[in-house]
Amino acid sequence: MRKLAWLFVVAFALLPVCAEVTAVKDTPFVQEYHEPYPIVAKGAANDVRAVTVTEDGTVYAATRAGAFRLAGDSWKQETSIVIGETFDILAVDNVVWVAGWDGVYRIKGGVGTKVGSLSYPISVLADGPDGVVAMGPDGAWIYDGTAWQAMETDWSGNLKDLIALPNGDLWMATWTGLYHRSDATGVRRYFEPEEITSGAVTGLAMAPNGQLWVGCWGGITVLEEGASVRQITTADGLPYWDVRCMAFAPDGTLWAGTKEGIGRYRDDADWITQNNGSKWSLRHSKRWLLDDEIRDIAFDASGTAWIATPKGVSAIKRRMMTLAEKADYYQKILEQRHVRPPGFVEKCQFKRPNDLTEWDARDDDNDGEYTSLYLLMEAFRYQVTKNSEAKANATRAFEAIAYLHEVAGGTGFFARTVVPSSWTQMHDQNTTFSDEEVAARRVRDPRFRYVERRWRPSADGKWLWKGDTSSDEVNGHYMGLYYFYELVANEAQKKQVSDLITTLMDYIIANDYTFVDPETGVYTRWGVWNEKILQENHDWWVESFINRYEVLAYLRIAYHVSGDEKYMDEHRRFVKEYNYKEYLRRPKAHRISEQSRIDDGMVYELGTILYQLETDPELKSLLKEGLTWVYQFVEDDQSPYFNFSMAQCGGVDTHLDQSIAFLRDQPLDLRQWVVDNSVREDITLVRYPMQDSLQTSRMLPPSERGVMRWDKQPWEYISGDFTHPDGLLESSGVFWLMPYWLGRYMGYIEGP
């Protein structure tokens, strides 16, 4: 499949800045991350009902198999108290109270005992001014320090939550309404629609300003002095209707646990900007939670959220970071797990879920192109920091790219990728098709190219190299080699680059502007820039726009590194004879059925170099017009790649704030968890901007969608690695590091 080489972002980096740059200071920001704490591999102990944190920071969990205490990274069962069903757990200073199936237990100083003679199942606990309050289906009691005192009840026994106020008032969330008990006024039931969102009340939280937030099926009701002042539903941005529990974080943010993750709410400008205009954000999927069904939330003094789920306890932690520190974090992961011989940079695959100590390298169709991204990233890092390691890394990547040319014979054709000859599991295995199967595929796709032997042995037998190389790989090589030439190479290396580029260009020209695979003797699936084919073969209509754009860039780059006028003669011929000026103005097919981030990126990938090298005022103006026209299709993507590129070309409003927000909000976890936003009710699913897949009606922050490349659709409602939904596949992080170092190089982001 043809992929977007999102190298486009770098191309403006060597341009003079068209407007004064206001650099963003790299101030520390809050970076959230998830740490899972399953209690056991599986079973009743993982079925967590409630969590609590003591004053000294110890975390306890109430589960279907008893109470557990977190000691370091492992759980210890409290065997001195009830073994079996527990339903709630409460920390009062450093004393822990446990609601069990046969009464209440207490853990104090590491010693557990049963409290009093209660032998009833207890559903909920609360700390009141006169002692701990316990309620269940058989009644309610308060512990006076020596014994349990029964309370007269006039409320449902189907209890979900309980709050005790300093004045002795009690609020009870039940399946048949909200109840308020006061010594002064007795018991009042809230059940009517004007009083409460619904009668199924599931969670309670007291806000810092004294308002009571009430979670229900259907939404949240806010009470002030006993009266309803506000109701919040999915129409107001609540991500999911089924609220299960609530808690306010130390910073005042409401965390609402639902059946489909945790909605967090704040009403301040910075929060709304961070969350792309919404007062709500969502934490869901295995990137953030062991399970999306949320039973309880508790906070420790540092602001860590401890979350009870049916599959264990999740901790969403916080640390202060700068963008420079985040770049260092990703860089270490990349170098440790994502560089494979002879120097390619791509994904890796872990051997077991949540075990990052063992992994295997993975190949990809476009290893050469993606390694070029890494080369460019390191070239910019070298230019900004003069770091010798960055220069060495860029050189290693260049040598890997050059080897793709060498392994295929060095005559102009090059390999998509190479893997060790010992590998047996690669992307796109060699496959034999019958004539009937080939015919069936050609009916579906008349341009289908049957290549039986995609993988071929190298001359020395050490490697297998992959053919049927695509045009986007050609784009990646041109761009990677060009920027290595400009930013890193010494004189000897510049000669190597010039030889590679001109040999490749001469091969394309000699084969009548097609990319002929020596294995098959015909041009590859995507390797066509021949004007006659593009004009006469209607099956090439969509790609004909961008392919014409590509060939102008290839010729311009070949002339730049060689000075050979024959390339400029060809460039001028295409412009004059075939009116390629029109493709500078409108460089891609753009009807909704043809929309693709692949083509959007291709335009910027090579168009920026064309713009940089162009000296003819008319052509330069047309290039600027075309790049600006394409930007309208990607402007709402909140992509630092497109934004930094267009800004460097003098774009009027290229959303620097959104680029910084992306870089800050992108999670530290680079595993390709499946993130499904179809269950959300704060968005709708639409078929825009692209017709071929369902998309979200608004752009979600990166922390609420899957890790992706910029050749993918950022609006897709579901993303991630569906083959390995347990997070076994990890991105290299280049998608983040590239725009970060581009922004540093361009002067949009200050250094540390």
Amino acid at 718: I
DSSP assigned state of 217: B
* Mean pLDDT value across residues 7-25: 54
Name, of 44-48, 79-83, 688-692, 705-709, the range with top average pLDDT.
44-48
pLDDT exceeds cutoff 90 at 302: yes
pLDDT exceeds cutoff 70 at 106: yes
Q: At what angle do helices 734-746 and 640-648 cross, to 10 degrees?
A: 20
CA distance 243 to 294: 9
The angle subtended at Cα 603 by Cα 597 and Cα 605, nearest 5°, is: 95
Band of the pLDDT at 14, cuts 50, 70, 90?
low
pLDDT in tens, 710-721: 888 899 999 999
pLDDT in tens, 592-636: 888 888 888 888 888 888 988 999 999 999 999 999 999 999 999
Q: Which residues pair with 580 in a beta bridge?
A: none
Specify the fold of 6-28+325-746.
Glycosyltransferase (1.50.10)
For the chain, give the mean pLDDT. 93
Domains 6-28+325-746 and 29-321 share a fold: no
599 closest CA partner among 649, 524, 549, 670:
549
> Six-digit token pair at 527?
């390797």
pLDDT of residue 8: 39
Band of the pLDDT at 21, cuts 50, 70, 90?
low
Domain ranges (residues) in the chain: 6-28+325-746, 29-321
pLDDT of residue 63: 97
pLDDT exceeds cutoff 80 at 41: no
pLDDT of residue 82: 81
Band of the pLDDT at 9, cuts 50, 70, 90?
very low
pLDDT of residue 20: 59
Do 386 and 493 form a contact (C-beta atoms < 8 A)? Answer: no
Do 557 and 497 form a contact (C-beta atoms < 8 A)? Answer: no
For 276-283, the CB contacts below 8 A with 24+ separation are 276/638, 276/661, 276/698, 276/699, 276/700, 276/701, 277/698, 278/237, 278/682, 278/698, 279/237, 280/237, 280/238, 280/239, 280/682, 281/701, 281/703, 281/704, 282/239, 282/680, 282/682, 282/704, 283/316, 283/703
Tell me how far CA of residue 426 lies from CA of 360, 362, 417, 429, 661, in angstroms: 12, 8, 11, 6, 37
Band of the pLDDT at 646, cuts 50, 70, 90?
confident
Name, of 8-12, 299-303, 743-747, the range with top average pLDDT.
299-303
Q: What percent of the chain has pLDDT over 90?
A: 83
CATH 3.40.190.80 correct for 29-321:
no
pLDDT in tens, 491-544: 999 999 999 999 999 999 999 999 999 999 999 999 999 999 999 999 999 999
CA distance 295 to 348: 34
pLDDT in tens, 116-131: 999 999 999 999 999 9
pLDDT of residue 277: 87
